[in-house]
Structure 1
């Protein structure tokens, strides 16, 4: 079983105070619930890095072929997705993230965080 591992595709800075490149992009692959937990953790860290949740726009790309493979492997979408959305609300986001469903194979989740200076 593969453990999900966030892989920053844009060189995210190592500590706060440095210039933050825009947008920040991470990919997650593996069991659905693990990907959601890792994405939530990454999102929390990114908000801390950026400094204010009101400055953040969030997009999640979800690969439907990868999700289908995970469901065939026994993963369930609910209740994990519902918990993920609840945790995002607790972070202070004004709305649920935009989720773009991709028909192409690739990483299960791609988390894109854009922000205003």
Structure 2
């Protein structure tokens, strides 16, 4: 009689997305978001299986602009940096009308 071998459990579940929030001066948040994104790409093993979304809180942005932060050229530089990453799908930027952290980064990925 052949002995039964244990097989690893099969998991078809999609891994949970990675989520970070950023609040503070606009340019600093963009730099931190870019750094975090680069680190996350290394963590998940490359860009081939990821999709990312960025939520931008318009009330928080208005507060940053009123405090003296400039949107450009930081935003344009950030978009250029995203383009250089060669993501399989362009990042989705969602403009939220609700208060919250200035930026939220959500990375969904496949193993």
Asked whether the two chains share a fold, i.e. TM above 0.5, the reply is yes
Aligned to 2:72: 78
Are residue 64 (structure 1) and residue 40 (structure 2) matched? no
Structure 2 unmatched runs, 5+: 1-14
Name the Cα RMSD after superposition: 1.1
Q: Which has the higher contact order (CA 8 A, sep 6+)?
A: 2
Larger radius of gyration: 2
The answer for the alignment partner of 1:90 in structure 2 is: 84
Deviation at 1:95, TM superposition (A): 4.6
Q: Within 1, Cα distance between the matches of 2:86 and 2:101?
A: 27
User: Could you say which residue in structure 2 is the equivalent of 1:102?
Assistant: 96
8 A Cα contact 2:17 2:106, kept in partner: yes
| 1:81-116 CA-partner distances (Å, limit 9, x unpaired) | 111111111222145310111111110000000001
TM-score by length of 1: 0.79
Q: Give the superposition deviation at 1:34.
A: 0.2
Among 14, 19, 24, the alignment partner of 1:25 is 19
